[in-house]
Amino acid sequence: GPTGTLRIATTTDIGAIEIPFAQERNAINAAWTLYDSLLWLNDEGKLEPALAESWETSADGLSYTFKLRNDVTFHDGTPFNADAVVFTQQTYNQPEVVWVNEWQDVIVEKIDDFTVKLTTKEPNALFLRMVANRWAIISPTAYGKLGKEGFAQAPVGTGPFVFKEWVKGDHLTVTANPNYWRKGYPKVAEVTFRAMPESATRVAAIQAGEIDLATRLNS
């Protein structure tokens, strides 16, 4: 199983851990540990199945039919299915959502428990890449129990890591999902993201062995 802790320094505070509300790359990178999308982009930038096992695009380029995995559960133990995809799109297709443009202008239709159809108003060659990069699927049950504000503080997805603690302005800690659907992942037991805005502070923290990874360092 996964072992060890990975400590990552972020150059800004993590302002949100719901992907549709995350406005800065540090926050987006940290938040994605909690979620999966229908698709994902591999290291070569090619689309591969994730929560969707397969997909088909209509001849006119307007509709995408996804066959979903039937062996995935959210961190709260509830099953992932077509209802979760519909719920997620409806939840984030709201005016107050920062990235609402990535959830609007598309109709999400449940075909059966593990099939959904996404239909856009016009052909968009980048639509599937946007889904892979931005559509973080959430638990309808957890959202219903926690409410909008509560969910924002402790969101529930299907990702490789489970929310543990978020102290705004200081750190976000996530732990390995013991029931993650992708075999062999995650590789570490815990990840902590620590806010360190000053480059000199990040350098000093690495030298002192306080963190393992830092970016955007001044020479």
What integer best gives the mean pLDDT of the chain? 96
> What pLDDT digit, counting tens, does each position of 72-100 carry?
999 999 999 999 999 999 999 999 999 99
For residue 8, what are the β-bridge partners?
193, 213
pLDDT in tens, 97-153: 999 999 999 999 999 999 999 999 999 999 999 999 999 999 999 999 999 999 999
Q: Which two tokens stand for residue 92?
A: 């984030």
Q: How far apart are CA 26 and CA 11, in angstroms?
A: 7
Q: List, in sequence order, every beta strand (DSSP E) within 14-129.
A: 39-41, 47-49, 52-57, 63-68, 106-112, 115-120
pLDDT given at position 114? 98
pLDDT tens for each residue of 148-168: 999 999 999 999 999 999 999
Q: What's the pLDDT tens digit per position in 179-192?
A: 999 999 999 999 99
How far, in Å, are 22, 59, 98, 118, 171 from residue 26 at the CA level? 9, 38, 16, 29, 12
